[in-house]
């Protein structure tokens, strides 16, 4: 390690693995979060009480740093977006400061980490009206467009954790938006795989899968004019769901108002099914869309993935990268459709 590169007070740093080529994010502020290392059940009990909730109206001031606020007729807010108090990346860095540590490549974790909250402590996405979910999608798009052209930003991850088992440290319904200086390994694989398929077959791999799923119908859960939801033939976890636009669309940020309503319908359907048919399972939901690094990705097909928290990575998964799925997607779709 060269001492001139050895910075004190590392807050957010990306280190590239020499063998796999994937990046790992080190973010030391994250372990200062209020819930960290606390007893999970006690925390759960405590947060049932709205007066202790950090995201409830009584405890959240009208902060100057709010980046987006949607208000209702009475001028009270219904949705707001603000910087995460414990960000994984920092907007304070001026540059990525790419450097070498021995044989390794390191960059500073420059980026933006925002939180989106809706007003009601007890109404999660599954319980909101379709129009309210469309409002969340509208805010996703608004923030995406605002962040995508900033210096060094290559990918914007939008995700939602629901339930403690899925990593939601605060019960109050919220989503997160993370703008990053790299294209993350999962998206990288997804983009590359889609590109390779396109090169060989001159067709979008996702369009092919959607067409086949529609014909078969076995793994389909929901369909409207613009969106389709399936349990993928090669699901990575039990009850995994993917929400696809039926038309070939590569850039989420171009979603129209009509498509937001249709997507909101699809999401409400899926999330309600998790609540009713899977005993209110915890889940992670995230967007996969084209990177915003200035290149074109017309072969890609954006979509949302929903991963119910059903299995934990143990020895076999960690040692081989092979995930074990305890239920066939055909059966999972049957259960979810009910
Ligand atoms: Zn709350
Ligand atoms: Zn497509």
CATH number assigned to the domain comprising residue 232: 3.30.428.10
- Say how far apart CA 46 and CA 152 lie, in whole Å: 40
Mean pLDDT by 10 residues, the chain (338 residues): 43 88 83 53 54 84 81 89 91 90 93 96 96 98 97 96 87 96 89 95 97 96 98 94 98 98 98 95 96 95 94 75 85 94
What's the number of domains the chain is made of?
Answer: 2
Residue 73, SS3?
coil
The boundaries of the domain holding residue 288 are: 186-337
Are 226 and 170 contained in the same domain?
no
Are 230 and 268 contained in the same domain?
yes
Are 193 and 303 contained in the same domain?
yes
Are 213 and 306 contained in the same domain?
yes
Q: Which ligand is nearest to the CA of 171?
A: 1
Distance (Å) from CA 89 to ligand 2 centroid: 32
pLDDT at 64: 67
Distance (Å) from CA 47 to ligand 1 centroid: 8
Residue 214, SS3?
helix
Are 133 and 238 contained in the same domain?
no
pLDDT at 48: 59
Distance (Å) from CA 249 to ligand 2 centroid: 6
Last residue of a domain, one of 185, 207, 237: 185
pLDDT at 85: 87
Q: Which pTM value belongs to this model?
A: 0.90
Distance (Å) from CA 41 to ligand 1 centroid: 17
Distance (Å) from CA 24 to ligand 2 centroid: 30
pLDDT at 8: 39
Are 51 and 180 contained in the same domain?
yes
Q: Confirm if 158 and 286 have CB atoms less than 8 A apart.
A: yes
Are 247 and 324 contained in the same domain?
yes
Are 115 and 197 contained in the same domain?
no
Are 157 and 58 contained in the same domain?
yes
pLDDT at 290: 96
Residue 89, SS3?
coil
Question: Which residues have their alpha-adjacent CB atom under 5 A from ion ligand 2?
Answer: 204, 206-207, 248, 301
Q: Confirm if 228 and 329 have CB atoms less than 8 A apart.
A: no
Distance (Å) from CA 82 to ligand 1 centroid: 15
């Amino acid at each position: 390690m060269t001492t001139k590169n050895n910075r004190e007070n590392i807050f957010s740093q990306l280190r590239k693995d020499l063998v796999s080529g994937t990046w790992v994010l080190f973010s030391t502020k994250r372990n200062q979060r209020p819930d960290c290392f606390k007893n999970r059940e006690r925390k759960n009990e405590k947060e049932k009480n709205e007066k202790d909730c950090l995201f409830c109206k009584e405890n959240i001031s009208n902060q100057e740093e709010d980046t987006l606020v949607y208000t209702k007729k009475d001028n009270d807010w219904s949705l707001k977006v603000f910087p995460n108090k414990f960000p994984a990346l920092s907007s304070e860095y001026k540059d990525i400061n790419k450097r070498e540590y021995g044989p390794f490549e390191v960059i500073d974790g420059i980026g933006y980490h925002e939180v989106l909250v809706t007003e009601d402590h007890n109404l999660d996405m599954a319980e909101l009206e379709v129009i309210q979910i469309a409002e969340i999608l509208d805010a996703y798009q608004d923030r995406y467009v605002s962040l995508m052209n900033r210096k060094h930003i290559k990918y914007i991850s939008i995700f939602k954790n629901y339930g403690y088992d899925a990593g939601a440290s605060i019960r109050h319904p919220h989503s997160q938006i993370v703008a990053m200086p790299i294209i993350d390994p999962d998206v990288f694989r997804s983009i590359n795989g889609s590109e390779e398929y396109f090169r060989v077959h001159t067709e979008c791999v996702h369009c092919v899968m959607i067409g086949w799923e529609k014909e078969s119908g076995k793994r389909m859960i929901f369909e409207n004019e613009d969106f389709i939801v399936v349990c993928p033939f090669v699901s990575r976890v039990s009850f995994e769901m993917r929400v696809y636009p039926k038309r070939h669309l590569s850039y989420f940020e171009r979603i129209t108002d009509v498509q937001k309503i249709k997507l909101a319908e699809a999401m409400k359907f899926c999330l309600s099914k998790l609540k009713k048919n899977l005993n209110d399972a915890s889940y992670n939901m995230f967007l996969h869309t084209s990177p915003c690094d200035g290149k074109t990705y017309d072969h890609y097909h954006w979509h949302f993935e929903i991963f119910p928290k059903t299995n934990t990575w143990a020895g076999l998964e960690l040692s081989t990268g092979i995930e074990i799925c305890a239920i066939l997607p055909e059966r999972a779709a049957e259960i979810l459709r009910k």
